[in-house]
Amino acid sequence: MKITGIETVVCHARMRNWVFVKVLTDQPGLFGWGEATLEWHTRGVVGAIEDLAELVVGEDPTRVEHLWQMMWRQHFWHGSGVVRSTAIAGIDLALWDIVGKLHGVPCHQLWGGRVRDSIRLYCHLGGGNLDSFYSTPVDNAKRFAELASEAVSEGFSAFKSMAVPPTMPLEGLQAVKSAESCVAAMRDAVGDDIDIMVDCHARPSPAMGMRFAKVLDPYGLYFLEEPCWPESIESLAAINAAVTTPIATGERMTHLAAFRDLFAARGCEICQLDLTHCGGFTEARRIAALADAYRIALAPHNPQGPVSTAASIEFGFSQPSYIICESVHSDVPWREEIVQEGFVVDAATRTVAPNTRPGLGISIDEDAVKKYPFQQEVPQRVFYRDGAVGDW
């Protein structure tokens, strides 16, 4: 069997363009779906996939590890840059989809069978709707509480919020107090049985990240995400050591060696590897094995499109240390129009039963995708009150 071509199918989704990767084979009707969505880098990723196709077209798609090694190591430059690692991931996921289809089993079945009966989902406030999640101001704690109650009424037992504002390298009490009011209001609204997460989006400096982590510690967050830049591993480690709240990070890390450094420094308790950025299942399984050695839990970053979600779910059914899956359901209304999934979500509990279809169990309606062609992603620019550039 040979790979005969690699196509990209781009579907606009407001803040993102979903980049679906279709790997074609010479076996009639056999192809695989992957996803390589990278917001604000859509054209770059589509081009990178074109460059990689030159390496793998004509090769046997079942030699997944061998092809991964080619994509990572050949063409001189290693595949660790996020554009290339995302492109590799898209192709790698599609190759595993092909292998699953060839054997007539879901991907998780290829890696030793399922290790759990269901997977818990968490949502973003507003269901991943750009305006609710990213644009609710932190001086509006009441709105945070309303959105939190809404998530719970939709069946979620866990949700994530952006309760930490864009933060200058040093701020006075106001930013810290605003974040605390939002978290206090959410906790009051949903009680202790619901898990609340706060994503700092790596907005704070290490010093401010420490202050946010300490002030939010008494509220029993399930985890606190990216309290400072992912490059500041020693500061992540210091924050992780200073509070009881588990620190989560990893969505911007693209390869095994970066995770090795993070884990060795004990920079987190939860590893948020992204299957569409860290080289696909092939590299993610190595990262997961390494995380196991440190007893670090897995909670993949997954705000992208539906193939990414299917991949995160397949991964979760194969990984003992996997605790929860990020999900968005209200980002754009056409999500359900373009995809059919093999896994089933129980709407009452927002837990997922295993996919029983081969591979990733996904089918994409390419005619429906044509209705939502590429558009420039909605810009998200942050400037501090003095006009200096901030982190979104």
Interface positions with Mg ion (CB under 5 A): 199
Would residue 76 be called left, alpha or beta, if left means φ above 0 and alpha means ψ between -120 and 50 degrees?
left
Q: Which of 109/327 has CB closer to Mg ion?
A: 327
Q: Which of 109/161 has CB closer to Mg ion?
A: 161
Q: Which of 12, 124, 255, 301 does the annotation list as catalytic?
A: 301
From the CB of residue 150, how many other CB atoms can be counted at a distance below 10 Å? 17
How far is 135 from 150, CA to CA, in rounded Å?
17
Q: Which of 120/201 has CB closer to Mg ion?
A: 201
Listing DSSP states for 220-270 in one string gives --SEEE-SS-TT-HHHHHHHHHH-SSPEEE-TT--SHHHHHHHHHTT--SE
Residue 205 CA, distance from chain mean position: 23
Q: How far is the CB of 112 from Mg ion (least distance, A)?
A: 29
**41 among known catalytic residues:** no
Q: Which of 133/156 has CB closer to Mg ion?
A: 133
- Comparing every residue's Cβ against Mg ion, the nearest one is 199
Q: Which of 201, 255, 277, 329 does the annotation list as catalytic?
A: 201
Show the tokens assigned to 319.
Answer: 């990984």
Helix spans in 24-158 (H): 42-56, 64-73, 82-103, 107-110, 130-135, 141-153
Q: How far is the CB of 226 from Mg ion (least distance, A)?
A: 6
**277 among known catalytic residues:** no
Q: How far is the CB of 167 from Mg ion (least distance, A)?
A: 15
Q: Which of 180/199 has CB closer to Mg ion?
A: 199
Q: How far is the CB of 304 from Mg ion (least distance, A)?
A: 12
How far is 234 from 215, CA to CA, in rounded Å?
20
Q: How far is the CB of 90 from Mg ion (least distance, A)?
A: 20
The residues annotated as belonging to the active site are: 201, 301
